[in-house]
Amino acid sequence: MLPVRSHCVPVILITASRTKNHDTIQPRQVKLNHLPMTEFAILTNRKRALIALAHSVVFLGVAFHGFISPRSALVLHAPGTVSGMILVGIYLIVASILAWLSAISRCAPERLYFVLCTSSATFGLLRTIFGDSTLPPAQYLRVLMLSSAVVVGAWIFRSFSRPVPEEVLPE
């Protein structure tokens, strides 16, 4: 007879109630060794995490540059309107793509990373449209969101860099 361990979870608690077919996996079932909150959908390996982290660091530098050059509101009948409209279009595209990536991301750290990047791009868009005089906290919030994204991105990158225990390595 096998000894009963007190730390084991009974099968009844992890499968759906009144399950007749245990061969098919139902969406509400959970594997004991592979919880869904640890799966990455986009940043699936070390290389992708490094590329995302590099982008965050570069755009953090661009956001810091925004402190040096104050932004005026976008005026449709003034010099620089075309470049301002191009910048608004770029921010709209980037913010939309980042919002989509945050929607399809699976785990909490990945979603947090993309939400921080999306909010930073949105603050950049608002700053471009309304200017610094109308929306003064936008440049500070943009830098804060990107700094937080760099911290979360470094955390995600480090999660792929953890050493594997020797007993797990193949011989």
Domain extent at residue 66 = 46-160
Average pLDDT, the chain: 80
Split into its structural domains, the chain has a count of 1
pLDDT in tens, 110-133: 999 999 999 999 999 999 899 888
Has residue 30 been placed in a domain?
A: no
Q: pTM of the entire structure? A: 0.72
**What interhelical angle do 46-68 and 137-160 show, nearest 10?**
160
Q: What is the pLDDT of residues 44-86, one digit of tens each?
A: 999 999 999 999 999 999 999 988 887 888 877 778 788 889 9
Question: How far apart (Å, rounded) are the C-alpha atoms in residues 114 and 102?
Answer: 5
